[in-house]
Amino acid sequence: MRKTITLLVVLFGSLFYAVHAAAETKVGYLDVTRVTEESPQYVSARKSLQKELDRREGDLRSKAEKLKKLEQKLQRDAKVMSESELKRLERDIMSRQRKLKNSRDEYRDELTLRQNEERNKLLRQVAEVVRTIGKEEGFDLILTDGVAYASKKVDISDKVLKRLKKSFR
């Protein structure tokens, strides 16, 4: 009987300690997607990238239009051109097609690289702000992706956005 009472006391004591420990744990949640997309750093980086892209896209469009005009000339004048002129024009068209394809591939690769650089830079800034808030406000755990539900009470996304906006100025 004494063992049963002792076991019950230990069991209830453990449950009380577990409930007490859980009550003291401070948990937060961060919506990383929302924070990154609404941050001024993201908006600024997107505008900067867009300016670069507009210039490059204009250059690619210009090359594509020149190529199209040459292809139209080939179709239109092929019957009246000499054999050597025809072969020269066909080689020129094929060469321009390869160069245009390479330029487009290069453009896509560079775009992806630049987007990743900017995203990683922003994510480092977000992580630093989250660590700072976590330490300042005594969080034990801050969760991000993979959370099925988080109440506004634990969502620190607005705090992080506010700090990002403050640091952007």
DSSP 13-58: HHHHHHHHHHHH--EEE--HHHHHHHSHHHHHHHHHHHHHHHHHHH
Find all residues with CB under 8 Å of 42, minimum gap 6, and list them: 36, 118, 122
DSSP, res 80: G
Task: Check if the beta carbon of residue 139 is closer than 8 Å to that of residue 25.
Answer: no
Beta bridge partners of 141: 27
Q: How many CA atoms lie within 13 A of 134 on its CB side?
A: 15
The model carries a pTM of 0.65
C-alpha to C-alpha distance for 104 and 99, rounded to whole angstroms: 9
C-alpha to C-alpha distance for 26 and 14, rounded to whole angstroms: 20
CB-count burial class (<10 Å; 0-12, 13-18, 19+) for 111: middle
Task: Check if the beta carbon of residue 154 is closer than 8 Å to that of residue 28.
Answer: yes
Q: What's the confidence (pLDDT) of residue 8?
A: 46
The residue written with tokens 């002792």 in the block is: 6
pLDDT digits (tens, 9 = 90+) for 36-62: 888 999 988 888 888 888 888 888 999
**pLDDT tens, residue order, the chain (169 aa):** 666 656 544 555 555 555 555 557 889 888 888 888 889 999 888 888 888 888 888 889 999 999 999 899 889 888 888 889 889 989 999 999 999 999 999 989 988 998 899 899 999 999 999 999 998 988 898 888 888 787 788 888 888 989 888 888 7
